[in-house]
Amino acid sequence: MKYTIGLSNFHAYRPEYIKQEIWAKLITYNITETLINHTIIKKGNTKYEYKVNFSIAAHICRVFLRLTTEKDSIDVMSLLCKELIPLRNERQYPRLKSAHFRRPRYFIYRVA
């Protein structure tokens, strides 16, 4: 979630502005979740059930919130209906411990 809503880097130095940025991102996250929950997904004769891709939905909502006039408005719900990903419940594999963990490298040899 941190990378999707843009909380990996801050654009301010002062603590009150960082708090403001965090609150703005969390409000955007809540708006995105609300729109995803109200999206109507048509069910057909498909192998999987589908859900809205959150990363793309967050980008669509950011663009929508930045629009200033009604001329530039977009149909957010129809865009969200187009960005679906399948729910694959049988694809839950255990994490590989060796692939994700690497031993730290110490640079003690540089100290002289």
With H, G, I as helix, E, B as strand and everything else as coil, classify residue 31: helix
What is the model's pLDDT at position 95? 60
User: How far apart are alpha carbons 101 and 112 in whole angstroms?
Assistant: 29
What HEC string does 43-104 produce? CCCCCCEEEECHHHHHHHHHHHHHCCCCCCCCCHHHHHHHCEEEECCCCCCCCCHHHHCCCC
> What pTM was estimated for this model as a whole?
0.68
pLDDT band at 6 (very low <50, low <70, confident <90, very high): confident
Question: Which pairs with CB-CB distance under 8 Å and at least 24 residues apart come from 67-74?
Answer: none
Q: Per-residue pLDDT tens for 16-74?
A: 998 998 998 899 899 999 999 998 888 888 888 888 999 899 988 888 888 877 776 67
